[in-house]
Amino acid sequence: MAYKRMSRNDAYMNVANVEDDEDVIDLLEVARAILKHIKLIIFLCVVFGATGFFGTKFLIAPKYTASTSIYLTPQINDTGSLDYNSQMANSKLVTNVVNLMTQNNIMSEVAKDVGLENASSVKNCITVSNESDTEIVTVTATTEDPKLSKDIANGTVDTFIKTMQKNLNVRNIEIVDKAKLSYVPSGPNAKKNGVLAAAVGFVLGAGYAILRYLLDNRLRNKEEAEKYLGIPVFCEIPEV
C-alpha cells in the first residue's frame, strides 16, 4: 500500500487550525534519519580516520623534544639554613630569567654553536617555562632532529649561565638536569589525529543525514498525514 505524497506546506495551507508545536523537530525522527544513513556515516568515519592516521604517520615529519632545567640556588646563612632574603630575591629573579633566556644575544650565540641560520631559528624551536612556586626554569627544544633538539636545549642553558656570570656576576644558577638524546618522537600523535579525523567524518555524515531530513517536507505515511493534517486518514491509495 502507498500513501499519496504531498508537501507538508500544502497540508498546512489546507488546514487552518494547525497547532504551533508542529514545527518542533522530532528528535526521534532525527535519530531515525541518522540510523537510515548509518552505513554512510561509518564509511566516512573509517575513511577520515584512516586518512588522519596514515597521513600523520607518513606525510608529517616526526618531532623530537629535549628538555633541561636550571635552579636558582639560595644562599646559606651562618646557621646553615637557607637565607630568606636570598630566596625572595630568587623568586623575583626567576621571571627575568625566563625572559632573558630568549634574548637575541643568547639565541644568536646558540644558533652559531648548533649551526642554525639566526636567532629566530633557535627561538622558534624552544620554550622556556617556570614551574609554579619554584625557582626552577625549564628549557624545552623541539625539532625534527633529536640531536639538534638536545644541543639547542643544553646550548641555551650553557650560554645563558656564562652570559649571566660574565655580565651580571650572577653565580647562583645550577643545572638540575641536562637534556638527553632521545629517538622517541614527541609528536605528532597519529592515533589522536586519526580519532579527531574520524570524529569529523561522523559529524559530516550525521550532518548530511539531518540536513536531508530537515529539507524533506513530504508526507510519507499515514502517521505523518494525521500528524500534520490534524485529521484522521480513512482511505489509502493502493500501490500500482
Q: What is the pLDDT of residue 115?
A: 93
Which conformational region is residue 105 in: left (phi greater than 0), alpha (psi within -120 to 50 degrees), or beta? alpha
What is 8-53 written as a DSSP string?
Answer: HHHHHHH-TT--GGGGS--HHHHHHHHHHTHHHHHHHHHHHHHHHH
Q: What is the pLDDT of residue 132?
A: 81
**Which residue do the cell numbers 544513513 mark?**
37
For the chain, how many residues are written?
240
Sequence-separated (6 or more) residues with CB below 8 Å from residue 116: 110, 122
Q: What is the pLDDT of residue 218?
A: 73
Q: What is the pLDDT of residue 8?
A: 47
Q: Which residues of the chain have pLDDT under 50?
A: 1-9, 11-23
**Which residue do the cell numbers 559529524 mark?**
203
pTM: 0.70
